[in-house]
Amino acid sequence: MTTNTRQELDDLFSMFHDFEIKLLIYQNTTLRLTFILPWGELWDDLNYQIKVELTGCDFIHCDYAEILNTPDNLAKNWVDRCSIDKSTNDSNIISELGLEVQSHKFYSPNKYEFRCNSSKKFAGGQLTFTADNYLILDKDGNKITLNKMQKWCTDWWEKIDNQ
């Protein structure tokens, strides 16, 4: 991997909207994330996935809200449901949350926070981690450039605007 600037990471993460975290693996100082992209609609592949490998990750932490699984609570409208605040550093638990990245925030010098919704039994959360470098791969392990991601993002939003 080559060294990338904080601006490149910011540019990459700024495209993450409705990216569902399908799998998260954290080993040593590497965070590997597999995402399902909504952009797959552009190619008639509703389960299109990319992998993002982040290095320089010396920690991960996730705060999330678990919906209370009671008949009375589940009968309520989604926004009125009660939840329990929880947190974890366990990558297996984070992978199971079904978090969908909506936006990100940067904290100097190299900390990022994904702000997430969820489509499962969780009301969303925040995934916080550090990163200094990235690599983007398609499902077959081929490298995807930041420019290619930016082109796909532009194509996606143009499609939305033209509907």
Give 36's pLDDT tier (boundaries 50, 70, 90): very high
Residue 141 pLDDT class (50, 70, 90 cuts):
very high
pTM: 0.88
Mean pLDDT of the chain: 91
Q: Residues 52-69: what's their mean pLDDT?
A: 95
pLDDT of residue 1: 39
Which one is predicted more confidently, 140 or 119?
A: 140
Of 51-60, 95-104, 152-161, the poorest mean pLDDT is in: 152-161
Cα(145)–Cα(151) distance, integer angstroms: 10
Predicted confidence (pLDDT) at residue 35 exceeds the cutoff of 70: yes
Helix/strand/coil (H/E/C) assignment for every residue in the chain: CCCCCHHHHHHHHHCCCCEEEEEEEEECCEEEEEEECHHHHHHCCCCCEEEEEEECCCCEEEEEEEECCCHHHHCCCHHHCCEEEEEECCHHHHHHCCEEEEEEEEECCCEEEEEEEECCCEEEEEEEEECCEEEEEECCCCECCHHHHHHHHHHHHHHHHCC
Reply yes or no on whether the pLDDT at 132 is more than 90: yes
pLDDT number for residue 2: 43
**pLDDT for the residue 26:** 96
